[in-house]
């Protein structure tokens, strides 16, 4: 992708999901999720512990059956953020950095998500099957640039003024 090309809406929101994943507190899995409707961000989420409880990165993971169960996954946290603020997500698109696990896929489907945009695979889950059977469109994008570049001089918002030079 050329550095000079403006990102598409899908690329833009997927990058926002990547930014959200930077907030993840479980070193085993960094995931981000952004729920969007009509180009409007309804809620964001990342893999994280319950409010006020310790983080995996501080006290270690809580592994059961080879999965860390200390955190809520990004999709669930995005949904709970929407619920907390009284936002309906019916008909929204979920931008997720990693293909959902089965549980998160079921939660997004039940909440009325109509489309999922993702760039990675996730093995051993029924997510793709459930999404497809429920009529949720899955769009796979190529992985965005590893670095989200911000060439300051390219944008007038960050151009140096005479004073700051
Ligand atoms: Zn963990
Ligand atoms: Zn999940």
DSSP string, 69-119: -SEEPHHHHHHHHHHHTT---TT-EEEESSPPPHHHHHHHHHTT--EEEES
Which residue did the predictor score with more confidence, 75 or 155? Answer: 75
The pTM (predicted TM-score) of the whole model is 0.86
Q: Name the pLDDT band for 6 (thresholds 50, 70, 90).
A: confident
Tens of pLDDT along 22-67? 999 999 989 999 999 999 999 999 999 999 999 999 999 999 999 8
Overall average pLDDT of the 135-161 stretch: 75
Q: Which residues are catalytic?
A: 75
Q: Which of 96, 94, 78, 93 is nearest to 30 (CA)?
A: 96
End-to-end CA distance of the chain: 31
- Which ligand approaches the C-alpha of residue 31 most closely? 2
- Which ligand approaches the C-alpha of residue 105 most closely? 2
Q: Which of 130, 73, 83 is nearest to 104 (CA)?
A: 73
Percent of the chain with pLDDT over 70: 86
């Amino acid at each position: 992708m050329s550095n000079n090309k403006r990102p598409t809406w899908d690329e833009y929101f997927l990058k926002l999901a990547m930014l959200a994943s930077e907030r993840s507190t479980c070193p085993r899995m960094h995931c981000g999720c952004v729920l969007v409707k009509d180009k409007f961000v309804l809620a964001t989420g990342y893999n994280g512990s319950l409010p006020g409880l310790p983080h995996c990165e501080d006290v270690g993971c809580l592994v059961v059956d080879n999965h860390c169960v200390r955190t809520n996954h990004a999709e669930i946290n995005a949904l709970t953020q929407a619920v907390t603020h009284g936002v309906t997500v019916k008909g929204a698109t979920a931008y997720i950095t990693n293909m959902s696990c089965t549980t998160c896929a079921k939660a997004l489907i039940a909440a009325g998500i109509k489309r999922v945009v993702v760039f990675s695979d996730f093995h051993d889950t029924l997510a793709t099957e459930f999404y497809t059977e429920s009529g949720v469109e899955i769009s796979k994008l190529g992985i965005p640039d590893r670095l989200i570049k911000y060439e300051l001089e390219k944008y007038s918002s960050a151009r140096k003024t005479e004073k700051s030079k």
